[in-house]
Amino acid sequence: MPPPSSGGVHIAQMLNVFKQFDLTSLGHNSASTIHLMSEAMRQAYADRSKHLGDPDFNQMPDKWLTSEEYANQTAAKIKMDKARSSKDVNSGTPALPESPDTTHSSVMDKFGNVVSNTYSLNYSYGSGIVAKGTGILLNNVMDDFSAKPGSPNGYGLVGGEANAIAPKKRALSSMTQGDT
């Protein structure tokens, strides 16, 4: 079955942009209203050319394209006193999905005390081992080493000889810690 028309996505996308403006005060069919409609359409068609296609072959970010957040970003780019050139209008880029491997939580009490925890499990269920009596899954950080320096790891990152696997060596980590 072919994909649905991209028109539905773009009508919702454009209407969300229009909600950011006072169309009544701009006036029906006024130069300002037509300018606003043209700018919203220009963005929608730039997004169409990059993001939409047959869903059997493409992951389409339709929820993001029709989100209020993206409408706010689009509206912020529209200048009511000057039209953008179509060649200068780029498609938007949706945020990358959150990693399923790392979870972070922070808690603050009424006195301003803060505790935070970042918990990472590479791949599915880390090492697959649970620390006895805790229910805590242990991570498998071996991929944080350069198993073969100069070659990409499971995440596509290329490491060097300095991070090669060796006895008693600790793997690199991108984690940071801050104290106040």
Catalogue the active-site residues. 102
With beta carbons less than 8 A apart as the criterion, state whether 119 and 102 touch. Answer: yes
Query: DSSP secondary structure string, the chain?
Result: -PPPPTHHHHHHHHHHHHTTS-HHHH-TT-HHHHHHHHHHHHHHHHHHHHH-S-TTT----HHHHTSHHHHHHHHHH-BTTBPPPGGG-PPP-PPPPPPSSEEEEEEE-TT--EEEEEEE--TTTTTS-B-TTT-PBPP--GGGSBSSTTSB-TTS-B--GGGB--TTPPPP--------
Residues 6+ apart with CB under 8 A from 138: 126, 127, 129, 130, 131
